[in-house]
Structure 1
């Protein structure tokens, strides 16, 4: 259902709830109907399943058959040796996969949270697993969103959706209904989704989906398919079949040759069986398993957890690497890359002369003072990623706030896209306003709007998120700060270009992959321009022949058209999780 198209009253009616949330009785009834709000595994392996899976390989079955036959014909030593090797192989494989499974379960437990809800009209905390559709929850900065929800109240609410959509910037959430059809997840700005995080503001929302019915639950369901065999497993199965046929033929030939020569039939039968047992390379599975286990151990030291041992070998057969952008290729941390000030553009590492001017200091002070990021006692920054980026820039330039106390503010609003703070400095009242340049420029005086807007477009064309800054002097502190009056007649300060930059090591890794014959491909839910900028910087896009397509363009393609271009497509942007999985499969 397109919940983003419905208003609050329509949702309340559909989910049989209200402003005070569900009653305890109704919530218990719905919990029985919908189940716990958790991601379920379709086929969860028990310890016994994990142990017995070590004996499913064809080579292992051949070895067990050889051990039984050896015991029957009296070769107890050979039988014991083969059984010991098979058990050793099983133990090594079981221990590696069991530890990996336990580590995965421990990681999943980190996601268990509590939620603040309205139950019987009273605010209370409950385990997030007990949420049901119709619950009214309260979201605040720092909260994990515990289910898919429709926002019904937003006080400057921003949500980090990078884990779900690949969007680098926190998304401003609104209450109004959206009229468009088939909106991708990243554009449903009046909803929030399980697994994302509130970075700023607060709000109230109605739970509309829980557990496997959430967007992240749908992704989990897509991934719960039958496992395919790795190249090593396929080769070992093929080798086992060929070896079985060859040994059987040799034994038959040996038996027939002895029979034609008049040898004793019982003697020839026992000799043929002994030959079959001797021809089986009983140490091969153990050698392969131990080698894979050692490789998996090395991977763990590099912070890579191998869940299934054969996957280690699969890495050596890779020809394409399909990678996400945010947090994988990039730092998942916004960074001020350049400033535009008084007609000049300044790179981050060239701000020394800029910071020495009076106007430059005022611009940096605006970055520091018009900010809601904080630094805790451990030195860690907390708040919206964009705010933190500006805060870090100001600290880097040794900007102080002690003599710029904040005395009032007009909070950020997603409708007007501005934030204003008032400060007392040297017995003067100074206000700083920051926000979307297209809106801010219209509120400034004595400025060439057209040329400044061209700079905004140029910076945005390079994949930067652009923020504008302005200031104003006041004779006295306004009694009731109001955006309609106190955010007009501003003096323009400058622009800041912000981006989630590539990791330092990524460009080298991409280059090494290409040299090794491996083609890296970026698949992200972020905007095409941002994706293209990052891909060009790290070398994934190397020329005009390399293509960037969006999820919408991909959906419009038939399979033949896609296959005809797939080797040239290096970046997929604004794609849904389902599309990501389909791309990898193809």
Structure 2
């Protein structure tokens, strides 16, 4: 952001005009049905309808027995039992779904009462999130959530957490066309509502608000679709139809059979028939037929199904998986395809040092000091067994590595006086910190960043200053990059003149640093995932990774979880751009072979699910940046995260 600009922003009149044309920056909430109507919907279940019909018939038979045969009040036990079974089944289902709906409402509440810095009338002011309009110029700092979709005007060391849309926690954004990533899920100079600034700061112009944003489209797409029937719904519909046909057929046969028996009796000829006696016989015959119908109805079935689904629903809630519709709980048991995100679902969603490749002669205290002082990240030790990273996750991985070796970074940082510092920027691709080193007792310059950049500072007299050759380091770098890992290079130098290390344009002007080595950082696969993937595939369940990450990283994760092997070809992988460009017919022909979809957007996932359902597949969708991976385990125990529409 070397070139400064003066942004005027919108005038008050332009704000009103934009709001009238493009709407407010809020998501349209779906109007819910009244509680009484939701409760009555429970009586539309086919089995419940059969029970209601049986209840009417049973009440008629009981009334007949009570009035004609004086059987007493116990004649009504059968209809009372059926009524109790109906109310219990519908009541339990209604209660659990209402409980889930309340939790969904809490999660889906959009907090519009957050203030953002916006340039209007050539001044910086604060407005509520819901009052931001198309054309507004918004200023964002680290930690702030992006309030609307827009195009970047300025960006400094900007990294955005896109996990809510693509599952990726760190995506580099820039206004420099030379640094644009061609295969990025969203353009490198475009940020979306619902994501957040994890590092750096920016100024952007709002292009879309409310429902028109990418987040708004996802919000609309996940609204529940009651027209989709789960396999259990279809099976119960079939069972209800079969019970109805068979019971009515038997009842008809009873009536016909008893009439044949009556008229084949010589004493009951048409000439001498006693019509009063025949009327009683016919009424008794009808009562027997109705009893057959009532007996054929399994009164306990709805309650058994409801309790089973309610237990599954409660089990899912206990593991922080909310299911809106009870019948969706059984879908995973019939799942044929799982579409899973990568980050935080297949992986641990925490950057970790996979391997280090340091010079053997470097003092470990020097390595620890270089990581502790040349960093802007912190560790939260609230949970001492599992400290969390505050700040850049890549820098945090270095501090966690030190902590794992029994070294606390904080005392080292506090004892080291910082003399000068260049924070990391995507333009420089390195960070440099000059400190008064407590271990060496002298000013020491520490540099870390992209290894190929850091190495350029490590030459003197045509010689690469390291015990290991530059060629060996480059070969190791290539190995790590082929494994889709992030790499960081480290270097240091004792400085005699601290004033002559940084130029006026904010770049290092020092050479002759000693190259310490490199680290490979990755988001490791969860330990239980490979076995879960193998069990799913052995059971005939297809697993497809749908992620916003790069093709190389997605393919490497697929290899680590045993989803990708030497038999796989380019036909088994596709990018979001290629996916969007293909017709439905082309995708239907190829969709069965796909194992990895990289650089995917939420709408690509929705289209994928729709196409799979057209082929008759039962699809489970999991992930989107969550910190747990329940779906793969759920597939093995017959529970469910949903059918792609109900959860």
What interval of TM-score do these two structures reach, taking the shorter chain for normalisation? 0.7 to 0.9
The 1-side partners of 2:334 and 2:86 are apart by: 27
Residues 158 and 199, structure 1, Cα contact 8 Å, conserved in 2: yes
Residues 50 and 98, structure 1, Cα contact 8 Å, conserved in 2: no
Change in 2 beyond 3 A, CA 1:252/1:376: closer
Residue 166 of structure 1: CA displacement? Answer: 2.9
Q: Match of 1:393, SS?
A: helix
The 2-side partners of 1:215 and 1:318 are apart by: 28
**Residue correspondence of structure 1 range 538-553 to structure 2 within 5 A:** 538-545=561-568, 547-553=572-578
The 2-side partners of 1:20 and 1:52 are apart by: 56
Deviations 1:88-145 (A, max 9, x none): 1111001111111111111223766614222445544444233221222221111122
Q: Which moved more, 1:86-95 or 1:192-201?
A: 192-201
What is the total number of aligned residue pairs between the two structures? 557
The 2-side partners of 1:188 and 1:335 are apart by: 28
Mind listing any 5+ residue stretches in structure 1 that lack a counterpart? 1-6, 10-17, 343-353
Residue in 1 that maps onto 2:67: none
The 1-side partners of 2:39 and 2:121 are apart by: 49
Deviations 1:545-565 (A, max 9, x none): 473333344446555664555
Residue in 1 that maps onto 2:187: 188
Change in 2 beyond 3 A, CA 1:568/1:441: same
Q: Which moved more, 1:48-57 or 1:521-530?
A: 48-57
Match of 1:395 among 389, 403, 409: 403
Residue 360 of structure 1: CA displacement? Answer: 4.4
Residue in 2 that maps onto 1:370: 374
Q: Which moved more, 1:316-325 or 1:233-242?
A: 316-325
Residue in 1 that maps onto 2:644: none
The 1-side partners of 2:59 and 2:423 are apart by: 82
Q: Match of 1:408, SS?
A: strand
The 2-side partners of 1:545 and 1:575 are apart by: 20
**Residue correspondence of structure 1 range 513-552 to structure 2 within 5 A:** 513-545=536-568, 547-552=572-577
Change in 2 beyond 3 A, CA 1:473/1:186: farther
Q: Which moved more, 1:241-250 or 1:268-277?
A: 268-277
The 1-side partners of 2:514 and 2:178 are apart by: 35
The 1-side partners of 2:222 and 2:88 are apart by: 32
Residue in 2 that maps onto 1:579: 604
Residue 270 of structure 1: CA displacement? Answer: 3.6
Q: Which moved more, 1:24-33 or 1:316-325?
A: 24-33
Q: Which has the higher contact order (CA 8 A, sep 6+)?
A: 2
Residues 432 and 448, structure 2, Cα contact 8 Å, conserved in 1: yes
**Residue correspondence of structure 1 range 427-576 to structure 2 within 5 A:** 427-445=441-459, 446-447=463-464, 449-478=470-499, 481-482=502-503, 483-486=506-509, 488-545=511-568, 547-555=572-580, 562-576=587-601
Change in 2 beyond 3 A, CA 1:191/1:545: closer
Q: Match of 2:424, SS?
A: strand
* Structure 2 length-normalised TM: 0.79
Residue in 2 that maps onto 1:348: none
Change in 2 beyond 3 A, CA 1:58/1:134: same
Change in 2 beyond 3 A, CA 1:467/1:370: same
Residue in 1 that maps onto 2:621: none
Mind listing any 5+ residue stretches in structure 2 that lack a counterpart? 64-75, 264-277, 613-647
The 1-side partners of 2:331 and 2:143 are apart by: 39
The 2-side partners of 1:538 and 1:103 are apart by: 33
Residues 408 and 423, structure 1, Cα contact 8 Å, conserved in 2: yes
Residue in 1 that maps onto 2:162: 161
The 1-side partners of 2:337 and 2:442 are apart by: 61
Change in 2 beyond 3 A, CA 1:251/1:377: closer
Residue 449 of structure 1: CA displacement? Answer: 4.7
Deviations 1:147-195 (A, max 9, x none): 2122222232221223322335x223222458989x6653522122112
Q: Match of 2:103, SS?
A: helix
Change in 2 beyond 3 A, CA 1:172/1:551: closer
Residue 491 of structure 1: CA displacement? Answer: 3.2
Residue 506 of structure 1: CA displacement? Answer: 1.9
Residue 325 of structure 1: CA displacement? Answer: 0.5
Residue in 2 that maps onto 1:14: none
Change in 2 beyond 3 A, CA 1:32/1:564: closer
Deviations 1:238-269 (A, max 9, x none): 11112112222222222222333245334433
The 1-side partners of 2:138 and 2:355 are apart by: 40
The 2-side partners of 1:461 and 1:172 are apart by: 20
The 2-side partners of 1:381 and 1:254 are apart by: 75
The 2-side partners of 1:69 and 1:25 are apart by: 70
Change in 2 beyond 3 A, CA 1:533/1:419: same
Residue 464 of structure 1: CA displacement? Answer: 0.7
The 2-side partners of 1:437 and 1:204 are apart by: 30
**Residue correspondence of structure 1 range 212-361 to structure 2 within 5 A:** 212-224=211-223, 226-227=225-226, 228-260=228-260, 261-262=262-263, 263-264=278-279, 265-342=282-359, 357-361=361-365
Residues 545 and 568, structure 1, Cα contact 8 Å, conserved in 2: no
- Could you list the runs of 4 or more consecutive aligned residues of structure 1 that deviate by over 6 angstroms after TM superposition? 178-181
Residue in 2 that maps onto 1:83: 83
- The answer to whether residue 10 in structure 2 is matched with residue 22 in structure 1 is yes
Residue 74 of structure 1: CA displacement? Answer: 4.4
Residue 202 of structure 1: CA displacement? Answer: 1.9
Q: Match of 1:502, SS?
A: coil
Q: Match of 1:157, SS?
A: strand
| Larger-Rg structure | 2
Q: Match of 2:603, SS?
A: helix
The 2-side partners of 1:577 and 1:217 are apart by: 11
Residues 363 and 494, structure 1, Cα contact 8 Å, conserved in 2: no
Residue in 1 that maps onto 2:436: 424
